[in-house]
Chains A and B, each alone.
Chain A
C-alpha cells in the first residue's frame, strides 16, 4: 500500500497509531499537524494548541472563521464541544508540568542519541524556539515526525551541527523510511516502511544504526 502513499501520508499514518484515547497531545506546526487527519476513527484524544486551547477541532467551514479562535500558527480553527481555553501560563504549565502525554514535532537534525535540533540555522533562519524547548523538556513522550533526508543529506546524524533544542532525547523518530528509537542512547532501527530495505535505511542515515536481526514493517493499515 505504501507505493501509493506520499511520504507525508506514511509518516502521519504511522505516528497516528501512537495516539491512544484520552491522551493530551500537542502537534507541532507543519507535518506534525497532519497527524490529526490520519487518526483512527475509534481514537479520541485531546489536542492542545499552545496559544491556549484544549479541544482543537478541524478547520472552520468557509465564512465561519472566528478571529479569536486560532491555532498556534495563527490559523483559524474550531473548538470541539467540551473544549476549554486558558492563558499562556496555564498552557505552558500543562506542557512543562508533565501533563501533556505526547508531543509530535518536526526536526532539522536528530543525533545518534536522539537529541534534537529544530529551531534555528545560524545566520540564515532564525524563527525562534517558540514552545519547542518547553515541549521537549516537559512532555511525557516526544516523537519526531520528519522526512528521513533533506536534499539527499541525512537528517539523522552522528553529532548535531545545528543548535540543540533540549538535552532530553526524543523517544522515537518516524520518517517515510523507518521508525527509529534510542534505547540506552543508541539509534536503533525498530520498523521499516513497506518495501524499504534495511540497507536503504542505513545508507540514508548519517550515524551508526543498531539493526536487530528482525525488523518488522510499519503497520500502516486501518
Chain B
C-alpha cells in the first residue's frame, strides 16, 4: 500500500476505465476522488455503483459533467439527470436489482463466475439470461462483475491500509474493495498502525493499493 495525493491517485485512472464507487445515495462515497475526477475531466467512464446519488453530490457530479458513458446501478430515482440522459440515449444504464448487484460484485471479488438467484425471474431483468434448475427450483444465472478500479470511502485507515467503516456509510465499500483491480481508499481519519483493533478491520490492508492522504 502507498499513500498518495488525490491528484496523483486520479491521474492513474485512464479515460474509458470502469470504476466501482462505494456509497448509497452519496453516503459513504469518496467525494474527494469524485471531485478530482471532475477536475481532471476523465471521460467515457463506466460506473458501477448502487445509485447515481443526486445532482451535485457523489456520482451525480460525474453524470452532470458528462463523463459517464455507462452506468450499472440498482436505483437512479433520485437523480433526474441520469434518467433524462438514459431516456435520451446519451448514457447507457443497466438497472440491476440491488441484491443481485452486490452479489455480482461479491462474486467478482471472490473468484466466482456468478451467482444463482430467483430475483428477476420472469421480469425484464431476466432478458436473455440463462435459467438453471437446482433441487427442483428455477434460478437465474447472474454473472460476476469486476472493475479496473474500486474507489472506496472508509472512516478509519491505518498506514498499512487496514480499513474500518462507519455505520451505514459501509454499504458497498468493503465488497467493492475485493472486486477492483486497483483499490483506492479515501478515509475520514488516518491513524497509527495498531490503533484499529484486528476485530474492527473490515477491509484487510493487502487489498488496498493506494490510500489518499489528507490535503
Contacts and interface: CB of A to CB of B under 8 A. Distances in A.
B158 interface: no
Given A74-B27, A167-B122, A134 B100 contact: yes
A93 to B, nearest CB: 8
Nearest to A133: B97
B168 A70 contact: yes
Contacts, number: 143
Given A68-B28, A163-B124, A92 B167 contact: no
Interface size grouping (class) on chain B: 35 or more
Interface string B98-124: 111011001000000000011111111
A122 to B, nearest CB: 9
Contact of B25 (A73, A87, A167): A73
B131 interface: no
Contacts of A128: 51, 73-77, 95
- Listed residue (A53, A123, A133) with the most chain B CB atoms within 10 angstroms of its CB: A133
B86 interface: yes
A23 interface: no
B149 interface: no
B95 A129 contact: yes
B171 interface: yes
B25 A74 contact: yes
A123 B27 CA distance: 29
**Which secondary structure dominates where chain A touches chain B?**
loop
B103 A79 contact: no
B166 interface: yes
A165 interface: yes
Interface size grouping (class) on chain A: 35 or more
B185 to A, nearest CB: 15
Contact of A53 (B121, B168, B173): B168
Interface in A84-108: 85-89, 91-92, 95-96
Contacts of B50: 88
Nearest to A136: B119
B123 A163 contact: yes
Interface of B: 24-28, 50-51, 73-78, 83, 86-87, 93, 95, 97-100, 102-103, 106, 117-125, 155, 165-175, 202
Of all A-B residue pairs in the complex, the 7 with the closest CB atoms, nearest first, are: A127-B77, A74-B25, A92-B99, A134-B99, A130-B75, A68-B169, A167-B122
